[in-house]
């Protein structure tokens, strides 16, 4: 962990590790997702039994292909949202996996909605870290999926969040009490209407038509409200093992998150190091290392390289092809980035 995120004692052990030893977090659910999936086969009112969020990254790839192998009669719809900033590697993975597996695939491209979300998030939430804008994006992904599932009468939505990701969600970010690292199946808490994020009213940011992307359970009959399932909370999650298994799929090009993550992540990570002095995703990766689910040296070196690049090679980053694409898509300039840093810099 970065010393600017946590206090490291004279014994070389950080406060997070000490607290976890005193108060261990339960990162495993007793929910029987295997029984749920087996029972759901062929039960959907429409064409599908489950909508599976699918980005082409290692976790969603492992989840989707595992579901197909284990539950042959579970009618799956792979669901991808193109936010306008997708990695070409992730995009290619989606095409190849769906082609080789024969799984039906739906992709939508609400570019304007996501440009507005990212632009607002970077300008207004950067003092909280890139983590805040990324969580907000994830909630929009989920809400769009919920709406599609309800409209198509698909009873299950399946998402590849890991228990480690859920365990570090900060107070105030889970405003609708949707997540718990020791729970894998969520039904009753899907009866909500999203109106705010971090205290900001969404209808003050988005137009009435754009608000339709956000979830409002009152639009649908109760019988059509989907149940959300997070399989990794029940299956367990080993980052390195999943990376290894997915890497062995011959038709996939790149599975490392450094290649498959969306292009806008580069801007978010850069802002984190300039404003906070650390990346707000380091706590999640550190959790995998502490639980021996990821290799320590590799992860340490990865973050140190990104820290060095952000703090000492910033001109190369700001002038890179990917950063130019992101700034152009967001209607921002390098001057705007410097204004964001000046506005939110944590002294």
Q: What is the pLDDT of residues 204-238, one digit of tens each?
A: 999 999 999 999 999 999 999 999 999 999 999 88
Does 240 fall in a domain? no
- The domain in which residue 49 lies consists of 33-235
Q: How far apart are CA 318 and CA 327, in angstroms?
A: 9
Whether the Cβ atoms of residue 81 and residue 120 lie closer than 8 Å to each other: no
pLDDT given at position 201: 97
- Residue 262 and residue 132 share a domain: no
pLDDT given at position 27: 63
Does 2 fall in a domain? no
Give the least confident one: 194-198, 259-263, 331-335: 259-263
- Residue 284 and residue 228 share a domain: no
- Residue 315 and residue 218 share a domain: no
- Residue 278 and residue 134 share a domain: no
Q: How far apart are CA 264 and CA 274, in angstroms?
A: 16
In this model, does residue 259 exceed pLDDT 60? no
- Residue 166 and residue 80 share a domain: yes
Residue 73: count of CB within 10 angstroms of its CB:
10
Does 86 fall in a domain? yes
Angstrom distances, CA of residue 42 to CA of 37, 214, 220, 228, 263: 10, 28, 22, 17, 38
pLDDT average, residue stretch 133-148:
97
Does 160 fall in a domain? yes
- Contact residues for 270 (Cβ-Cβ < 8 A; gap 6+): 310, 314, 317, 318, 323, 337
Q: What is the pLDDT of residues 18-64, one digit of tens each?
A: 776 666 655 678 889 999 999 999 999 999 999 999 998 889 999 99
Does 310 fall in a domain? yes
- Residue 192 and residue 88 share a domain: yes
Query: And the tokens for 228?
Result: 């959300």
In this model, does residue 67 exceed pLDDT 60? yes
* pLDDT level of residue 149 (50, 70, 90 thresholds): very high
Does 39 fall in a domain? yes
- Residue 214 and residue 100 share a domain: yes
Q: In 3D, which of 168, 148, 169 has the Cα closest to residue 158? A: 148
> In the chain, how many domains are there?
2
pLDDT given at position 239: 85
Does 336 fall in a domain? yes
- Residue 46 and residue 86 share a domain: yes
CATH code at 59? 3.40.50
- Residue 185 and residue 145 share a domain: yes
- Residue 270 and residue 127 share a domain: no
- Residue 268 and residue 173 share a domain: no
| CA 238 from centre of chain | 17
In this model, does residue 298 exceed pLDDT 60? yes
In this model, does residue 144 exceed pLDDT 70? yes
């Amino acid at each position: 962990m970065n010393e600017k995120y946590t206090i490291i004692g004279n014994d070389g052990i950080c406060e997070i590790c000490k607290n976890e030893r005193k108060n261990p977090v339960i990162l495993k659910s007793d929910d029987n997702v295997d029984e749920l999936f087996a029972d759901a086969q062929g039960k959907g009112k429409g064409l599908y039994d489950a909508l599976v969020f699918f980005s082409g990254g290692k976790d969603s790839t492992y989840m989707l292909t595992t579901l197909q192998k284990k539950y042959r009669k579970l009618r799956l719809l792979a669901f991808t949202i193109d936010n306008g900033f997708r990695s070409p590697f992730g995009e290619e993975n989606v095409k190849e996996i769906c082609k080789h597996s024969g799984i039906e695939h739906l992709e939508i491209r609400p570019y304007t909605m996501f440009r507005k979300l990212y632009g607002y998030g970077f300008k207004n939430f950067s003092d909280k870290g890139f983590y805040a804008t990324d969580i907000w994006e994830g909630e929009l992904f989920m809400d769009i999926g919920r709406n599609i599932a309800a409209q198509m009468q698909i009873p299950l939505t399946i998402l590849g969040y890991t228990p480690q990701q859920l365990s570090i969600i900060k107070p105030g970010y889970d405003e609708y009490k949707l997540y718990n690292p020791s729970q894998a199946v969520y039904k009753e808490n899907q009866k909500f209407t999203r109106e705010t994020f971090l205290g900001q009213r969404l209808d003050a940011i988005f137009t009435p038509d754009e608000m339709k992307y956000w979830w409002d359970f009152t639009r649908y009959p109760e019988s059509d409200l989907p149940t959300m399932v997070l399989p990794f909370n029940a299956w367990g999650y080993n980052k390195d093992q999943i990376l290894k298994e997915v890497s062995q799929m011959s038709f996939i090009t790149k599975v490392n998150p450094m290649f498959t993550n969306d292009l806008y992540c580069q801007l978010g990570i850069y802002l984190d190091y300039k404003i906070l002095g650390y990346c707000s995703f380091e706590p999640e990766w550190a959790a995998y290392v502490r639980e021996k689910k990821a290799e320590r040296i590799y992860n340490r070196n990865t973050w140190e390289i990104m820290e060095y690049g952000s703090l000492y090679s910033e001109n190369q980053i700001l002038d890179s092809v990917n950063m130019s694409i992101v700034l152009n898509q967001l209607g921002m300039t390098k001057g705007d980035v410097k204004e964001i840093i000046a506005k939110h810099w944590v002294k």
